[in-house]
Structure 1
Amino acid sequence: MHPIESEPGRAPGPETLRPLLPSPLHALTDDRFARRGVRLLLKRDDLVHPDLPGNKWRKLAPNVRAAVDRGCTTLLTFGGAYSNHLRATAAAGRLLGLSTIGVVRGHELADRPLNPSLRRCTADGMRLVFTDRSSYRRKAEPEVIEGLRERFGDFCLVPEGGSNALAVRGCADLGRELRGRADVVAVACGTGGTLAGLAAGLGPEAQAVGFPVLKGGFLGRETERLQTEAFGRRTGNWRLEDRFHCGGYARTSPELEAFAGDFTERHGLAVDLVYVAKMLHGLTTLVTEGAFTPGTTVAAVVTGPVAGAGG
């Protein structure tokens, strides 16, 4: 998505966020790939915007555009205690002068000190509302949304992870930026929205491989649902690799931690353990297993901030 030109007298829109597009694409020398005759590229989507890196900008920008066009002044969304999406929504609100409300999974968290991620949200002006996990699972039900409107007044709803038809169409630009540059594109998956758009933008000539970061086996259905909502049908060439989530969201293992440390030593890039490290570990494992024929060019999308970035 290219920056939107603002009109005289028009309220601030996503152009205010000043993204760096297309995001950089760098070749990486890694002997584990070279031994198999596979070329590795890093798509540095984490550099799109300092406060809304990677897929967060690509998902939020079209949703913010729609909200501003409707005259909406408040965004409400959902997320866990360490949600990058909550942080990005709060940052977008600060930059655009919009009020933001974050519904956080885990009522017990209300009695604890805020973690660095939630502190960043409040510093950017987000109002945090903690809810029990049972209620959180019902967040998409009409009566739950109506209850939130009765409590907080009118707002534009952005779904958990920002994944909806608008976001999927925004992420299709990521695929278009990689057309003709790679045979396989790997991406970490939380809600399926980035994979859905990426695959559509790539077209059928290249394959998108999604690496779920949480267990459950639902992402295939959800990705297909999002594509149908955005494009009317399943589209693109994509699949999921479900072996590398380490047991659930934000869970790690000694093997994953060792891999991430080794990757940092090799390439000078400290990747986060929640998303990017799981994708890179899975991709490297597939390469060493011989999953890709010699001569294949593989692009790995760095969808979020590097480890330690942004607090």
Structure 2
Amino acid sequence: MVSANSLDPNLTEFDLSAYLEERRPQVEAALDAAVPMQYPETLYESMRYSLLAGGKRLRPILCLASCELVGGNPAVAMPTACALEMIHTMSLIHDDLPAMDNDDYRRGRLTNHKVYGDDVAILAGDALLTYAFEHVATATQGVPADRVLRVIAGLGKAVGGEGLVGGQIVDLASEGNPDTTLETLNYIHNHKTAALLEIAVTSGAILAGATDDQVQHLRDYAQRIGLAFQIVDDILDITSTAETLGKSIGKDVAAQKATYPSLWGLEESRRQADKLIDEAKAALDSFGPASQPLRAIADYIVARTY
């Protein structure tokens, strides 16, 4: 995995770029191996088209980092890391459909349904979602069964009615409603965005045998970076370009969706994102210098421009 030097607790600066460049190929290779081409080819082509389309791989890398943070071998968390990316990819495929956000581009190329049709895209997303749970259950090695079950339950909660799906349906119901409150907006994104980031961070630690206190600190960290991530997304939807982001911009405004900038303005939105990141890093204080990767990822979330 990552070389010992890159995690040396005596370092005063952490090279996040080097860390990500070392981790991403490991995740890509594991994803490629986890979902090989097979019959029926159209289904697996569609699954792999979106799953292997690149991206930051933030969720799987957070999972691996949290496992290592509490003294675990990141290799035992790789099946869960892959499952997180399968679930995230499903959410993107389904979110892009005409019945949802109706997007034509994702990560700089045509969305799944534009290539394979709505029917195949729906089934590809369904297949990725269900396989994610199977992969955790069958591919995780050397971990007590109770920890694996705890992770599987956490994944189910993060993606279901108490997580991503619940956030999405409130998001759809709020579209075009000028009276959407900050409380509703927070509910949407705590469930639609932050829930999967939360299980990404906590699952790696759980697999490594983290204490309840350690898991709670990591949960606090993840909830804050999740909300900050969405605030920055809302800002970029206004200030960036489709070429830079690799997806359509300005759709939230066109659909009359409430966003953090629409409620707070850009300056206050940036201030709130920075505040959340400060709180996220403070939640890691008890882990000491070993938390450098997670701290650097938190800073990256507010500094990103794409």
Q: Which has the higher strand share?
A: 1
State the TM-score, normalizing by the size of structure 1: 0.35
Q: Which has the higher helix share?
A: 2
State the TM-score, normalizing by the size of structure 2: 0.35
